[in-house]
Structure 1
Amino acid sequence: MKALLLAGGMGTRLRPLTEGLPKPMALVGNRPWLEHVLLHLKQEGIRDFVMAVHHSQDVIRHYFGDGSRWGVSIQYAVEQTRLGTAGAIKNAEPLLGDRFLVLNADIILRSPIVPLLDYHEQSGALVTIGLTEVDHPSHYGVVEQDERGRIIRFVEKPSLHEAPSRRINAGLYVMEKKALASIPAQQEVSIERETFPQLIESHGGVFGFLLGGYWLDMGTTDRYRKLHRDLLDRKIALTLKEKERGQGIWVGEHTDVGSGVLFVPPVLIGDRVRIGDRSVIGPYTVIGDDCEIGAQVRCSESILWDRCKVHREAQLNHCIFGSGLELGAGHLLHEAVMNVLPGGVAQ
């Protein structure tokens, strides 16, 4: 079975971090989220991938290539214009088999895939939507199902007492290719607002399966921070390339830690990082590969992507830095979200 990864998202609400970067390529635990997705699905037995790309597609294609570095096969379905969720799937149709998996690649999801596939097979569904339960269903489109699991309708952002359930679309689907027949080619079409309701109305066999595991929409900087807190608390069990060197302290290879440095766990330090004398790092701090941290720096509850430089005696608290950002000596920053934009301008 092939997996179609919808990776064309622009990540508008994560700007400036996603300027010139597809949202699924945002770093999570010092590697692109899309790489975590690939590794998880490979672990679940999937080896053939199609990536639907649009915004800054060259970033994805340059990083992943044909997939051989990960022991998988990757093909690309390129959207010349934005096509929406259903339009992107329709655009990839020539590369897909009769049955395939679809995943919104910018959704943080860590769940076993095999039970979903088994349910789809047994139910005879045309489409099976992976569902997750949320505490506040009024923020989402909520699913109503019959006793067999068939989806009757979606209720968009209902009040709490009107919500038929707490189940929402998790952004993971098993689909039969014939479900794409009604989607017009090369047009922008939403699978959530158009295709699924049409299939439900025509009794096309749309079922829902409650997934286990971890789910989060990382679409805002607050949720992006929460994701990293959950990662460091090991509430989401992502594979880290760094090695645990103590309780809640992960350090990468060829990292140079100066004298008197204090790590306040949990912290994650990437490869080839240099940390100056008497700096205090943590808690809940992630430092990316090839970063340089000066002496007597204080860095807490912050996320630094790769190649950042923080000069001596600077202080960072609740900050997020994109790749290649530099902070001068003695600067104090609180709750700053910054990135180096194309042309070398910091924002």
Structure 2
Amino acid sequence: MKALFLAGGLGTRLRPLTEHLPKPMALVGNRPWLEHLLLHYRDQGVSEFVVAVKHYRELIESHLGDGSKFGVKIDYAVEKELLGTAGAIKNAEPLLGERFIVVNADIIHQVDLASALRFHENHGGAATICLTEVDDPSHYGVVEQTRDGRIIRFIEKPKKDEAPSNRINAGIYIIERRALDCVPSGRPVSIEKETFPLLIDNGSGVFGHPIGGYWMDMGTKERYRQLHWDLLDRRFPVTIDGKELEDKGIWLGDNVRVGQGVLFVPPVMVGDDVTIGDRAIVGPYAVIGKGSRIGSQSRLSYSILWDRCKIRSGAQLNQCIFGTGMQVGPHILHEAVCNRVLEVQRR
């Protein structure tokens, strides 16, 4: 069985970080999320993948290649224009089999794939929508189900006290090829608003399966930060690269050079080939990307730096997110989000 990753979007709400970067390529714990996702599904037995690409496709293709370095096979389905979820699946149809998995590649999650597949096989319908439960469903599309899991209808952003459930679409699907007969070619098609309602109405069978576990849409800066704090606190149990110092919540990569008097306040994650100057204070909740340079007497807390950032001596950063190659002088910055010097925003 193949997995189709939908990775064509840019993620406008994460700009400027993803201004020139597909949203699934945003770094999560110093590694592109799309790579984490590939490894998660590979480790559950998926060996063949199709990646739907549109914007900056060369960044994805150059990083993942044909999949051989990860022990899998990867093909690419190129969209000339954005086609929506169902349109992107239809565009990739020649590369897919009789049954396949579809994943919105910018959704952070961990799924028990074997459990979802067993559920799908048992109900015999055309599609399974993996569901996640949220405290307040009023910001999402909510599903109404029968006792056996069959989805009757979708309710878009209901009032909290009027929602039939707190289960929402998690962005992960198991689909039979026959379902694509209902998807027109050559135009944008929404799977949530067009395809699934049609499959429900014609009796093809659309079922919902709760996945449990961690789930987050990282589409805002606030959620992107929270994702990393959850990672450091191990509430999101993705692999952290580097060695942990005596179970103290401090992870250091290879070839990290630490100056005299440096204070780490856990939790902290430091990537490979990082230099930290004398008497710098790093943490709590700091992620430093590979090849970065942290100046002496600088202070970093609640901040995420992508690769090859340069923080000059004396700088103080709090709740900042900096893209690859960002350079910062001896500023005091709070809640700055930028990927170039001229894009520093202060609040």
What TM-score, normalized by structure 1, do the two folds share?
0.98
Map Cα deviations across residues 204-224 of structure 1 (whole Å, 9 max, x no partner).
Answer: 100000112100011000000
Q: Which residue of 1 aligns with 2:163?
A: 163
Gapped regions of structure 2 (runs ≥ 5): none
Q: Which residue of 2 aligns with 1:283?
A: 284
3-state DSSP class of the match of 1:180?
A: helix
Gapped regions of structure 1 (runs ≥ 5): none
Task: Check conservation: 1:325, 1:346, Cα contact below 8 A.
Answer: no
Map Cα deviations across residues 236-276 of structure 1 (whole Å, 9 max, x no partner).
Answer: 10012211113110010011011100000000000000000
Q: Which residue of 2 aligns with 1:65?
A: 65
3-state DSSP class of the match of 1:28?
A: coil
Task: Check conservation: 1:145, 1:151, Cα contact below 8 A.
Answer: yes
Q: Which residue of 1 aligns with 2:191?
A: 191
Task: Check conservation: 2:102, 2:174, Cα contact below 8 A.
Answer: yes
Q: Which residue of 2 aligns with 1:254?
A: 255
**Using the alignment, how far apart are the partners of 2:237 and 2:43 within structure 1?**
13
Map Cα deviations across residues 165-211 of structure 1 (whole Å, 9 max, x no partner).
Answer: 00000000000011011111121011011111111111210000011
Q: Which residue of 2 aligns with 1:83?
A: 83
Q: Which residue of 1 aligns with 2:133?
A: 133
Within a 5 Å distance, the mapping from 1:161-310 to structure 2 comes to 161-246=161-246, 247-310=248-311
Q: Which residue of 2 aligns with 1:20?
A: 20
> Are positions 1:111 and 2:124 aligned together?
no
**Using the alignment, how far apart are the partners of 2:93 and 2:252 within structure 1?**
43
**Using the alignment, how far apart are the partners of 1:112 and 1:262 within structure 2?**
39
**Using the alignment, how far apart are the partners of 1:346 and 1:13 within structure 2?**
15
Q: Which residue of 2 aligns with 1:6?
A: 6
Task: Check conservation: 2:133, 2:212, Cα contact below 8 A.
Answer: no
3-state DSSP class of the match of 1:181?
A: helix
| Greater than 6 Å deviation, 4+ residue runs | none
2:52 is matched by which residue type in structure 1? A
**Using the alignment, how far apart are the partners of 1:68 and 1:178 within structure 2?**
30
3-state DSSP class of the match of 1:178?
A: helix
Q: Which residue of 2 aligns with 1:121?
A: 121
**Using the alignment, how far apart are the partners of 1:36 and 1:231 within structure 2?**
13
3-state DSSP class of the match of 2:20?
A: coil
Aligned pair count?
Answer: 343
2:265 is matched by which residue type in structure 1? V
1:167 is matched by which residue type in structure 2? R
Map Cα deviations across residues 21-67 of structure 1 (whole Å, 9 max, x no partner).
Answer: 00000000000000000010011011100000001111100111101
What TM-score, normalized by structure 2, do the two folds share?
0.98
3-state DSSP class of the match of 2:138?
A: helix
The alpha-carbon deviation at position 345 of structure 1 amounts to: 5.3
**Using the alignment, how far apart are the partners of 2:298 and 2:289 within structure 1?**
16
**Using the alignment, how far apart are the partners of 2:290 and 2:6 within structure 1?**
27
The alpha-carbon deviation at position 73 of structure 1 amounts to: 0.4
3-state DSSP class of the match of 1:168?
A: strand
Task: Check conservation: 1:316, 1:334, Cα contact below 8 A.
Answer: yes
**Using the alignment, how far apart are the partners of 2:190 and 2:65 within structure 1?**
28
**Using the alignment, how far apart are the partners of 1:180 and 1:242 within structure 2?**
44
**Using the alignment, how far apart are the partners of 2:139 and 2:107 within structure 1?**
16
The alpha-carbon deviation at position 346 of structure 1 amounts to: 4.0
Task: Check conservation: 1:145, 1:153, Cα contact below 8 A.
Answer: yes
